[in-house]
Amino acid sequence: MSLFSVNKPLEPRSRQLVTISSFVLPILLWCLVSYVPFIWHPEVEITSPGSVNYFREGMLVNKTVFNAESDKASAAGKATPEGIPANPIYLPAPHEVLTAFYTSFTTEPKRSSELWLHESLWSSIQVIFYGFLLSSIIGIPLGVLAGTYDFFSRLFEPFIEFFRYLPAPAFGALAVAVLGIYQAPKIAIIFIGTFFQQVLIVANTTRKLDPALLEAGQTLGANNRSMLFRIVLPGILPDLYRDTRILLGWAWTYLIVAELIGTSSGITWFITQQARYKNFDNVFAAIMMIGILGLTIDLLLAWFGRRLFPWQKAN
């Protein structure tokens, strides 16, 4: 079967290969930029400073500066500096990031008041969990009501449509003033960032329920309560579960902004501290940890979804 057949699923083997390529290709590009000297490498790592006073072994300098200083030293008959092509400090090589994955969990914080990386990660997970949980507890019922009854749709959706365009970080100062400087305002930003979108998405999903099911219920004499709890909710549950998975990923995108509000904490604190010390291998490792953690949670939820709703097509 062609890999580019319109609206036709790939064969299992081809699907696996393409999925693996989704990760392999960016990593391969990263390796090429990091390890092949003639690809990019705009700087030079000094291996021997020669006669240039301010050069130090291991120092990174721009190629233009290095060449100018080398020409000056050569013209003056002095020792010329030596170096190897290098990338900027903000682009560590893959092996440096892999090393940072290990050392970040095993290296004790420099100050007793600082948290270990796993403690920072746990703090971030709690912020996401409570923010998204509160959003779902309120947003899902409102979305179902708005999607089922025109009265609630007219009552809720106009204001929510307006409010969803307001950026969640804009409420940071207000959240700190009302809720303090610790975890509460961070949870509030996650809530604001997901709640209004969640209501609208759930309402739209509810409206997509097969009208034949509603007509059958009405024909059999079901009242409003029975229609809602025995037809609407069971009918939308698989799609509602899928929407929740997608919206959870949305909540993760607000994490960094949320944790900058009030006292800096969680994985955001770790990233900003490491960037301050120019440990960009640790910065890359922490960012990738967020992605790995989010993807792992999503895959677990997808796995549970296939078992809860085996009649649904795989997503």
3-state SS string for 148-174: HCHHHHHHHHHHHHHHCCCCHHHHHHH
Regarding beta strands 82-86 and 43-48, do their DSSP bridges make them parallel or antiparallel, or are they unpaired? antiparallel
β-bridge partners, 44: 61, 85
Q: Which residue has the higher pLDDT, 314 or 281?
A: 281
Quote the CA–CA distance of 251 and 136 in Å, as a whole number.
11
- Inter-CA distances, 168 with 99, 183, 236, 243, Å: 35, 16, 28, 20
Coil/strand/helix, residue 46: strand
- As a whole number, mean pLDDT of residues 215-242 equals 84
Q: What does the pLDDT look like over 13-38, one tens digit per residue?
A: 877 888 888 889 999 999 999 998 88
Distances (CA, A) of 312 to 186, 209, 300, 306, 307: 36, 14, 17, 7, 10
CB distance 271 to 290 below 8 Å: no
For position 112, what pLDDT does the model report? 67
pLDDT value at residue 144: 93
User: Are 91 and 287 within 8 A, CB to CB?
Assistant: no
163 vs 314, which has greater pLDDT?
A: 163
Question: Which class for 187: exposed (0-12), middle (13-18), buried (19 or more C-beta within 10 A)?
Answer: buried
**Residue 205 reports pLDDT greater than 90:** yes
**Do 251 and 179 form a contact (C-beta atoms < 8 A)?**
no
**Biggest alpha carbon distance in the chain?**
101
pLDDT at 313: 66
Fold of 106-308: MetI-like fold (1.10.3720)
The β-bridge partners of 86 are 43
Give 129's pLDDT tier (boundaries 50, 70, 90).
very high
Mean pLDDT of 177-201: 90
Question: By the 8 A CB rule, do 261 and 130 touch?
Answer: no
Of the chain, the end-to-end C-alpha distance in Å amounts to: 21
Q: Which residues contact 84 (CB under 8 A, 6 or more apart)?
A: 37, 44, 45, 47
Confidence at residue 309, expressed as pLDDT on a 0 to 100 scale:
86
Q: Domain ranges for the chain, please list them.
A: 1-35, 40-87, 106-308
